């Protein structure tokens, strides 16, 4: 009479798969869930921030001189927290540029809904994904929040970039889809798309710039800076590995990873976190001229 012994290989394989699943689950909980829950808990314990779109300060910070006092070509990328409570989690970005001897600065961004007109009056209008020019001061505060500098390049390098940037702005596909705050296309989708035309700028938008990774469909190829590789699904799921971008995992637009050039952790819900530097004042990039990602108030 024969007896049938359990298939040791099948049992061992099942245990191995179960072990891998548990490790993956723990990784997901530690890297994504715990930081987001902690950030939400901090958010709930903080004093509410009023969304005063009608009275918030949008005036110039004074970082940029008048164009006639600065004839050199220049390219500046700026970022600031959103208005109201969303600003504790997310940021808005825009591009400022000027050709050599240009009479004025040019500020480009996508606004979705613009609550004020060009004179600062409350005359709201829906702009969708159409790029807007000079609706606000080039270096203005964003609803009372002081912006930070992500990149600031001038001279011959900027002169070479300006026509590329303007061409990218003029040909931006606003028809990628109707403006959507999440996951995009939105204001950060526009800036990221335009910056792809100048990978030599060596800048990446901060992890808090929701929408920066949005691309329709599945994308596998070079990162925006062309210093690494990227795989993405509609900007909702993705993985990046590159010198400029660092190492990033994107899960429903929450980003976890490492900044390689200026060592930092990219923590979901917090953005880039460096020792002794508040997360809101940090962007994970270093511009060509070596200027830091500092609040404008510190640059004056």
Could you please report the per-residue DSSP string of 100-132? TT-SS-EEEE--EEESS-TTS-S--EEEETS-E
- The CA angle 223-172-271, to the nearest 5 degrees, is 45
User: What residues contact 26, with CB distance under 8 A and at least 6 apart?
Assistant: none
Helix (H, G, I), strand (E, B) or coil at 134: coil
Mean pLDDT of the 116-137 span: 78
Torsion angle of C-alpha atoms 74, 145, 284, 204, degrees rounded to 10:
-50
Instruction: Summarize pLDDT for 159-213 with one digit per residue, the tens.
Output: 999 999 999 999 998 655 688 999 999 999 999 999 999 999 999 999 999 999 9
Q: Where are the domains of the chain?
A: 15-47, 67-298
Quick one: pLDDT band at residue 121, thresholds 50, 70, 90?
A: low
Pairing of strands 237-242, 112-114: unpaired
pLDDT at 246 over 50: yes
Return the higher-pLDDT residue of 21 and 110: 110
> What is the structure's pLDDT at 281?
39
- The CA angle 111-215-207, to the nearest 5 degrees, is 65
Instruction: Summarize pLDDT for 50-95 with one digit per residue, the tens.
Output: 666 667 788 999 999 999 999 999 999 999 999 888 888 999 999 9
Dist CA 172 CA 160 (whole Å): 19
Task: Quote the radius of gyration of the chain (alpha carbons, Å).
Answer: 22
Q: Report the chain's mean pLDDT, rounded to a whole number.
A: 85
């Amino acid at each position: 009479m024969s007896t049938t012994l359990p298939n040791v290989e099948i049992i061992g394989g099942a245990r191995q798969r179960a072990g891998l699943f548990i490790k993956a689950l723990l990784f997901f909980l530690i890297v994504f869930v715990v930081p987001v829950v902690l950030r939400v808990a901090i958010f709930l314990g903080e004093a509410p921030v009023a969304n005063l779109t009608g009275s918030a300060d949008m005036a110039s910070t004074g970082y940029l001189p008048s164009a006639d006092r600065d004839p050199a070509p220049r390219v500046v990328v700026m970022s600031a927290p959103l208005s109201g409570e969303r600003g504790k989690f997310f940021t808005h970005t825009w591009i400022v540029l000027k050709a050599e001897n240009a009479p004025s600065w040019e500020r480009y961004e996508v606004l979705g809904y613009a609550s004020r007109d060009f004179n600062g009056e409350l005359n709201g209008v829906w702009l969708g994904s159409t790029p807007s020019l000079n609706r606000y001061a080039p270096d203005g505060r964003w609803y009372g929040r002081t912006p930070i500098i992500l990149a600031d390049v001038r001279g011959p390098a900027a002169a070479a970039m300006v026509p590329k940037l303007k061409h990218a702005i003029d040909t931006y596909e606003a028809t990628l889809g109707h403006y959507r705050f999440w996951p995009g296309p939105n204001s950060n989708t526009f800036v990221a798309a335009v910056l792809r035309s100048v990978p030599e700028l060596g800048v990446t938008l901060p992890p808090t710039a929701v929408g920066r990774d949005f691309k329709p469909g599945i994308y596998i190829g070079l990162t925006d800076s062309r210093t690494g590789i990227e795989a993405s699904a509609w900007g909702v799921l993705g993985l990046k590995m590159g010198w400029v971008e660092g190492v990033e995992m994107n899960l429903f637009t929450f980003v976890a990873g490492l900044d390689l050039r200026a060592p930092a952790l990219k923590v979901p819900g917090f953005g880039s976190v460096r020792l002794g530097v508040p997360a809101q004042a940090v962007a994970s990039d270093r511009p060509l001229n070596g200027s830091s990602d500092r609040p404008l108030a510190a640059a004056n």
